[in-house]
Structure 1
Amino acid sequence: MSFQDTLLRHALAAAAMGFHVFPLRPGTKIPALHGVKSCPRNGVCSTGHVGWEQRATTDRAVIERCWSAGPFNIGIATGPSGLLVVDLDTPKSPAAQDKDGCSRQGIEWGRDVLAELCVRTGQPVEQVFDTRAVATPRGGEHLYFHAPSGVELRNTQDALGPLVDTRATGGYVVGPGSRTPDGTYTATDDREPSDALGWLVQALSPKPRTAVSAPVVLPTRRLDAYVDAAVRAEYDRVAAAQRGKHSKTLFIAAVALGRHVGEGNLSSTTAEHHLLTAAAHMIGPGCDCTEAKVRRTISDGLRAGASTQRPSRPGNPTAPATRGAA
């Protein structure tokens, strides 16, 4: 059996378990489907870009057609699959291990961190590991759980502790059978995923926002044409940002909109809303971006832009050239 046939077999096996799969570029963890910037706006995208999460499928015919075209690695979209996957990582270097504080605690990797969390919270250690598991090429492990209904869990980084990330709505993991330069993803426990433990769900559930942190956002259509065009341009810039340039692109866009905020032509709440929406794709596997980091970058950029002098905008010669950040 060829490696391509093996990948097809693994993709079909994942789909048979109800996992929604999509192709990753051969030998990588990067989606093989086109992104927003290169979207042809035809076919499945005729009414707008459709990303990997929406195109992930359990349809056998679609999977066979896709994997007959090449030796694609297997992406499992955790959201549509109803999964919560806990990613137990290993330090990338001794320096990183020391930075995480693991070496000083006698903790070597994410599995130890999760076990220590169980001990501290009075949870049975063996229970959290009693589920489907996949070994990663660099010595880590993915623990698969059925996500609870009625609670939208999102991706997290270090929310449970150093070297422990999670993937849920908006995320994906590399499925077993996939191969990268570091090695092959291998199922070490091929059972049906267990239901996510209550304490784990509680620890990862989004915290309720106060009225102050969730103000009413003015829709773009209520902005004047000039500012509307600026918002749309910066939204597109951020939405098309390539991996490795996320923070820089997001900061530049935030500075640009911050200038309009400083002039009093755009509320900081509206600017933040559109930038956060455009930056949603940045939070996922293979990227250091977290929601907290994205929000901080936007806040810093808006503040910098609001305090930057610029010429008055067209059609408003009496607008103040600058206004201090709030």
Structure 2
Amino acid sequence: MATIDRQATTPALAHALAAAARGLAVLPLSRTKLPALHSPHRDAPDAAPCHGECGRFGHGVHDASADPARVRRLFAAAPWATGYGIACGRPPHHLIGIDVDIVAGAGASAGLREEALRHLFAIPPTMVVRTPSGGRHLWLTGPPGVAVPNSAGRLAPGVDVRGTGGYLVGPGSRTRRGTYTVAPGTAHLAPAACPSTLLHLLVPPPRPGPSADGGHGRGLVRFVRSAHAGQRNTRLFWAACRAYENGMGPALREPLTAAALHTGLTEREARATLASAARLTGRQP
């Protein structure tokens, strides 16, 4: 880790500035591991989705920055913060977090090992952070242009994934359950590149559909319609990214919205997710 800034006013800020010095975008967290700053729009629930365009703090992971001046302002606005989050999916590291939850029992680690054996990949030596409960966060990096969605238990039981739009609790953070620490022997390691086979598992492919006459678009719509609770936003975001990348975003905007409504998402949630996909792929809606 980078040298701790001795001019920092709190340990959380010191650790956050050290992470920012490595190019990691950070934000202040409370003892609950949630963003320390509340949304400035919480009294206007019907307002259009805002990811910080208003210029105020309180937009969760969208507040995250590696600029030390902005980091200091964030923590000055939340002096009660006892920890910090590290935004995943951001350049230059495009961080991916593999969260192995020890609370789920030995099965969590066993589940990850089983997937590794089944699909013939190995986790390379990399930075590892220990959680207060005894779990582990494995830090990996992804390639630019690939959005790894957040997921819970999809890779293996008890194994969560933190990708684009998510964050990891940084080492040195203090929470209600204890302190996050760097695992011995890994502090000197940079986040390793995610094995290509594992990356393929982390980014769910659409179900195959007819190849002609707009079949790929219909396949994306079916992929969203078949989502169940817990994967609805993830599937919609992934399908929307693929649609925009292939030039079908505007044409599929309404069919994908309708498919998302079919799964139980609200229209506001669906359109916000589609807008996020458009921004991520550089195709502003």
Report the CA distance shift for 1:208/1:214 in structure 2 as closer, same or farther (over 3 A): closer
Residue 162 (str. 1) matches residue 157 (str. 2): yes
Q: How many residues align?
A: 217
Deviation at 1:146, TM superposition (A): 1.0
Distance in 2, matches of 1:31 and 1:152, equals 22
Out of 129, 137, 144, which is 1:142 matched to? 137
* C-alpha contact 2:37 2:58 (8 A) present in aligned 1: no
Report the CA distance shift for 1:139/1:2 in structure 2 as closer, same or farther (over 3 A): farther
Counterparts of 1:1-326 in structure 2, within 5 Å, are 5-25=10-30, 27-35=31-39, 36-38=41-43, 45-46=53-54, 51-68=59-76, 69-72=78-81, 73-81=83-91, 82-91=94-103, 108-124=106-122, 128-188=123-183, 189-190=186-187, 191-208=189-206, 210=209, 211-215=217-221, 270-273=257-260, 275=265, 278-279=268-269
Distance in 2, matches of 1:49 and 1:71, equals 15
Deviation at 1:80, TM superposition (A): 2.3
Report the CA distance shift for 1:12/1:269 in structure 2 as closer, same or farther (over 3 A): closer
Greater helix percent: which structure? 1
Structure 2: state its 5+ residue gaps. 1-5, 210-216, 223-228, 231-253, 274-285
Q: Which secondary structure state, in structure 2, belongs to the residue aligned with residue 91 of structure 1? A: helix
Q: Aligned letter for 1:70? A: P
Report the CA distance shift for 1:38/1:77 in structure 2 as closer, same or farther (over 3 A): farther
Report the CA distance shift for 1:186/1:129 in structure 2 as closer, same or farther (over 3 A): farther
Deviation at 1:133, TM superposition (A): 0.7
Deviation at 1:268, TM superposition (A): 8.5
Distance in 1, matches of 2:175 and 2:161, equals 21
Q: Which secondary structure state, in structure 2, belongs to the residue aligned with residue 123 of structure 1? A: coil
Distance in 2, matches of 1:269 and 1:80, equals 26
Query: Normalised by the size of structure 1, how large is the TM-score?
Result: 0.57
Q: Aligned letter for 2:10? A: D
Distance in 1, matches of 2:266 and 2:167, equals 20
The percent of aligned pairs where both chains have the same amino acid is 35
Deviation at 1:278, TM superposition (A): 3.7
Structure 1: state its 5+ residue gaps. 98-107, 217-245, 248-266, 284-326
Deviation at 1:59, TM superposition (A): 0.9
From the CA coordinates, give the structure whose radius of gyration is larger: 1
- Deviation string, structure 1 residues 4-34 (Cα, Å, up to 9, x no partner): 6221111011111211111112x11111233
Q: Which secondary structure state, in structure 2, belongs to the residue aligned with residue 23 of structure 1? A: strand
**Pairwise CA RMSD of aligned residues?**
3.7
- Deviation string, structure 1 residues 207-262 (Cα, Å, up to 9, x no partner): 1354334459xxxxxxxxxxxxxxxxxxxxxxxxxxxxx99xxxxxxxxxxxxxxx
